[in-house]
Amino acid sequence: MTAIALTIAGSDSGGGAGIQADLKTFSALGVYGASVITALTAQNTKGVTGIHDVPAEFVTAQLDAVFADLAVDAVKIGMLSRPEVIRAVAAGLDRWQATQVVLDPVMIATSGDPLIAPEAISTIVTELIPRALLITPNLPEAARLLGVAVATTEDEMVAQSAYLLALGPKAVLLKGGHGDARDSSDLLVTASGPRWFRARRHQTRNTHGTGCTLSSAVAAGLAQGLTLEDAVGAAKTYVTDAIRAADNLCVGSGHGPVHHFYRWWK
């Protein structure tokens, strides 16, 4: 059978993040990708200039069309900017009994532009996080979900991950890419305990779409039958290499994208 992953997220017109990054990641990792678009963004490597939300009923129509025909093995959820869209997605996950769900609580673009309405945050906490197999917040997103200061030490990451796990997901992957240590360290916490995934930090401004790419890579691994820990490990390796190869691309004049096809392009 063909491994299939579905991304439910916003579109990035610049192609570096969102739906576009998700589908590139699925393809690079040998997984067929389907999509449900929740918002359109006018966006490039320098920032976001506009957001057009897709009506909740049309998000539902897309989701039902995909699940009614495709045998979806894993779901990645990204940008959901409005409460009504979040509730529509939650209802769809229940209706189609989706269990391998990777939730990336996207709130701020790499450029610093906000991507979510403030009132939507509590809806994500109550409606989607308890339905997720894995949530993948970065340090600022974790702090915003919990209403605390951004973690600056590994001990604080461990503590915040425990609080996030108490919100109801099966597992938490707290991403340390926003830190300033020599290594970029991500912390996976499940009911059986914590595990660190580390990689040497590569200095580049071309990191647009890293969060989308990592969560999609995890979903791709799950779709192919990997365990959660193995999927996270494989995703960490893929994203690290995509960041290291990012400077081989010449795209835009701001925060350029990671190189999703570094294994294939010469």
In a domain, 42, yes or no: yes
Over residues 130-165, the pLDDT tens digits come to: 999 999 999 999 999 999 999 999 999 999 999 999
Residue 212 designated active-site = yes
In a domain, 179, yes or no: yes
Instruction: Find the catalytic residue in 18, 176, 211, 221.
Output: 211
Residue 177 designated active-site = no
Residue 210 designated active-site = yes
The answer to whether the beta carbons of residues 161 and 172 sit under 8 Å apart is yes
Q: Where does the pLDDT of residue 180 fall: very low under 50, low under 70, confident under 90, or very high at 90 and above?
A: low
Angle at which helices 154-165 and 139-146 pack, to 10 degrees? 50
In a domain, 264, yes or no: no
Residue 209 designated active-site = yes
79 vs 7: CA distance, rounded Å: 10
Rounded average pLDDT over 248-266: 92
Whole-number pLDDT of residue 113: 65
Of all residues in the chain, the percent with pLDDT exceeding 70 is 95
Q: Quick count: other Cβ atoms within 10 Å of Cβ 100? A: 20
Which domain CATH number covers 165?
3.40.1190.20
In a domain, 61, yes or no: yes
Over residues 204-232, the pLDDT tens digits come to: 889 999 999 999 999 999 999 999 999 99
72 vs 66: CA distance, rounded Å: 8
Whole-number pLDDT of residue 112: 65
Eight-class DSSP state of 108: B
Instruction: Find the catalytic residue in 209, 221, 240, 256.
Output: 209
The secondary structure of the chain in percent helix, strand, coil, rounded to multiples of 5, reads 40, 25, 35
In a domain, 25, yes or no: yes
In a domain, 260, yes or no: no
59 vs 54: CA distance, rounded Å: 7
Whole-number pLDDT of residue 221: 98
145 vs 128: CA distance, rounded Å: 12
The answer to whether the beta carbons of residues 76 and 29 sit under 8 Å apart is no
Rounded average pLDDT over 101-120: 78
Q: What's the whole-model pTM score?
A: 0.95
Over residues 242-253, the pLDDT tens digits come to: 999 999 999 988
Whether residue 182 has pLDDT greater than 90: no
Residue 211 designated active-site = yes
> How many domains, the chain?
1
In a domain, 254, yes or no: no
241 vs 54: CA distance, rounded Å: 33
In a domain, 265, yes or no: no
Instruction: Find the catalytic residue in 110, 123, 210, 213.
Output: 210
Instruction: Find the catalytic residue in 207, 213, 236, 240.
Output: 207
- Domain ranges, residue 41: 4-248
CA dihedral 11, 81, 103, 196 (to 10 degrees): 100
Instruction: Find the catalytic residue in 33, 92, 212, 236.
Output: 212
Over residues 68-108, the pLDDT tens digits come to: 999 999 999 999 989 999 999 999 999 999 999 999 998 77
